[in-house]
Amino acid sequence: MEGIALERPSFAAMTNNVVSMTGFGRASASLGSRTVSVEIRSLNHRGLDVKVRAHDLRLAPEIETEMVAAVRRRLTRGSVAISVSEENMDGVGAVADVARVRQLHATLDALRKDLGLADPVDLATVGAFLGASRTGPTAELPAATWPALAPALELALEGLAAMRAHEGSVILTDLECRLANLRAIVENIAGLASAVPGRAARRLEERLDALASTAPAIDPARLAHEVAILAERFDVSEEIVRLRAHFGHLGLLLEGKGKDSPGRRMDFLAQEIGREFNTLGGKIQDAAISALVIEGKAELEKLREQAQNIE
């Protein structure tokens, strides 16, 4: 078997619990006189979707089943496409049939003239017709070839996993930065919010003092009651506590102390954090705090977009 040039660290050593869903891996297998390549590509997906495609080959159903099972043993999320092709049919070492190309070009050029078309027939058009004129699969991979093909699939999966792990480490660094920024924003909000009820109470007293000459005296007990209502309305201590708790959970996931598939859990936590920011913004009508809430939402959206890229 001929594989791709790839360092082969152990799978456990590559993983840091934050793994990207984007990756690519390729390897080749020698099957008698033929060389077959296996390419695996993965993109973002809510679950795990695996598709097997063969180019110029017919795969035995048993081989497709084994390939899908192998991917499911290694991955939990992503849209995964496995492409199997004979290398000399992919253009590697392929020799063009010059006579056939000339004949097809002449035929197409004659048709162009009959139709009165001005643009000349180029090689791209000829190539497209050559591909469309193929009659179907030229070879079959029976179930008996699976033992020889399986190592190529595993090596391609290792390449895919290595790329996903590398991208995951980059995403992890960014997520840690976003989380630190969110924590700082919430602590700033907490500091500002603690002074809001007192400011509101003073504004109420100032307004009442201004009306004292034209309005009857205000019962001190009633004034204390209204101030207490204001303080309760502007109290965001519960939201701050919940935000800190959500940040703690995010931190554990980033440290690899959570369960598998942290991407789904991060996405859920991001939704909950967004709800708390909305509540904060609705409770406290303060310019400085509103600006921090907007900044927090922008940072949260960046974190959520990154979380949607990980397994």
pLDDT in tens, 9-62: 333 334 457 899 999 999 999 988 788 999 999 999 988 999 999 987 889 999
Q: Kindly tell me if the per-residue pLDDT of 101 is higher than 50.
A: yes
Q: Select the more confidently predicted residue: 275 or 137.
A: 275
Q: How much of the chain exceeds pLDDT 90, in percent? A: 47
Q: How many residues does the chain have?
A: 311
Q: Kindly tell me if the per-residue pLDDT of 198 is higher than 70.
A: no
Q: How much of the chain exceeds pLDDT 70, in percent? A: 75
Q: How confident is the model at residue 146 (pLDDT cuts 50, 70, 90)?
A: very high
Contact (Cβ atoms closer than 8 angstroms) between residue 19 and residue 160: no
- The one-letter code for the residue type at 39 is E
Radius of gyration of the chain measured on its C-alpha atoms: 32
Contact (Cβ atoms closer than 8 angstroms) between residue 276 and residue 249: no
Distance CA 132, CA 129 (A): 5
H/E segment holding residue 85:
strand 78-86
Output the six-digit token pair for 118. 């001005």
Q: How confident is the model at residue 6 (pLDDT cuts 50, 70, 90)?
A: very low
Range of 92-96, 139-143, 254-258, 297-301 with top mean pLDDT: 297-301
Distance CA 267, CA 256 (A): 16
Which segment of 40-54, 126-140, 190-204, 253-267 scores lowest on mean pLDDT?
Answer: 126-140
pTM score, whole prediction: 0.68
